[in-house]
Amino acid sequence: MTSQRDALNGHGRTDVHHHMLPSFYLKALDQVGVDTAAFPQWDPERSLSWMDRLGITKAILSISSPGVWFGNDAEARELARSCNEYAAGLVDSQPARFGALATLPFPDLEGAVEELAYALDTLHLNGVLLLTNVDGRYVGDPESEALMAELNRRKARVLLHPNHVPAGDENAALYSWAEYPLDVARVYLRLVYNDVFVRYPDIRWILAHAGGAVPFLAERLGKAYYAKEGGLRWWRIIRDLTAKRNGGLELAKRVSYETAGFENPVTLTALRRLVGPEQILFGSNFPWDSEGAA
């Protein structure tokens, strides 16, 4: 990512989980039947004012759940392009204060790869935000292989952000604040089991909301590293037993985590036991979370 604005490595306090809600995006959601009445108010000035009050040097802007795909690939591509060009405009106008993560029309993989190239090569955004699932199609499943390969080739930074569970899913009855940390863990498990971490080691993952359930379940979820369809990967088991290491657990130590929603000491303790401070990034979830939560 040497050609991108590498804002996350700059000086000062950087907020890597900071959302934008431009008016055209809210209008697009209304047109597809998404109720935005309870969405928080947002504009760039609100972000800057909030950042100044909390001493935040730079915010990395992104589009949050529910994203841009609502069943029509062409419309999703158009909306993603509008969001990315809008974000790039804000970065150009305030390069010291804003960076941005690209919005992709996932699960439209052809459109996602195309928009990834535009967002990174032309707009020079800082990376991408991927929603854990869109309409039940999950990041890390074999169907997303082409996108994973391209993200790896570009050594892209990816913020993995939870999304709503589809209405027909057996888990859909749970509140989103309860389901979100579990959905991050669902994708993490897919990335382990499908060897995405192993085959595509240059993707720079950031797990949102302190990794959800991952820090608590990392060792258990990591056992999928030794599993394969129809059996076990015995050579991995023997190798790691000989080296006295847990290869599955080490996968959780390779990624970064951001802090939005983990103000409680239990979550913080688990995360600090798992990774070092250099892998724990500040995130606020502004404007969805209150100022006090940051």
Give one word for 273, left, alpha or beta, with left for phi > 0 and alpha for psi -120 to 50. alpha
Q: Which residues contact 176 (CB under 8 A, 6 or more apart)?
A: 65, 162, 164
Question: What backbone torsions phi and psi does residue 190 show, to the nearest 5 degrees?
Answer: -65, -40
Residue type, 155: K
State residue 8's pLDDT score: 63
- CA dist 24 and 238 (Å) reads 55
Would you state the structure tokens that stand for residue 160, as one six-digit string? 């993995």
Question: What backbone torsions phi and psi does residue 36 show, to the nearest 5 degrees?
Answer: -105, 10
Instruction: State if pTM tops 0.85.
Output: yes
- CA dist 162 and 95 (Å) reads 27
State residue 173's pLDDT score: 63
SS3 257: strand
Instruction: Report the DSSP beta bridge partners of residue 14.
Output: 58
**DSSP 8-state secondary structure symbol assigned to residue 32:** T
Listed by start position, the domains of the chain span 12-293
- CA dist 154 and 170 (Å) reads 36
105 and 115 in contact (C-beta within 8 Å)?
A: yes
> Which contacts of 245-250 are long-range, i.e. CB under 8 A and separated by 24 or more positions?
246/219, 246/222, 247/222, 248/192, 248/219, 248/221, 248/222, 248/223, 248/224, 249/218, 249/219, 249/222, 250/222
- CA dist 33 and 126 (Å) reads 31
Would you state the structure tokens that stand for residue 173, as one six-digit string? 């009855």
The runs of H, that is alpha helices, within the chain are 23-31, 44-54, 73-93, 109-117, 145-153, 176-193, 196-199, 214-222, 234-243, 247-254, 265-274
pLDDT tens per residue across all 294 residues of the chain = 333 345 565 567 999 999 999 999 999 999 999 999 999 999 999 999 999 999 999 999 999 999 999 999 999 999 999 999 999 999 999 999 999 999 999 999 999 999 999 999 999 999 999 999 999 999 999 999 999 999 999 999 999 999 988 777 666 666 666 788 999 999 999 999 999 999 999 999 999 999 999 999 999 998 998 988 878 988 888 988 898 887 888 999 999 999 998 777 888 888 999 999 999 999 999 999 865 444
Q: Which residues contact 105 (CB under 8 A, 6 or more apart)?
A: 68, 69, 73, 76, 77, 79, 80, 111, 112, 115
**CATH architecture of structural domain 12-293:** Alpha-Beta Barrel (3.20)
Pairing of strands 227-228, 157-161: unpaired
CA geometry: angle at 59 spanning 215 and 213, to 5°?
15
Place of tokens 């690209």: 102
Q: What stretch of H or E contains 59?
A: strand 58-62
The distance from CA 236 to its chain's CA centroid, rounded to whole angstroms, is 29
- CA dist 228 and 195 (Å) reads 10
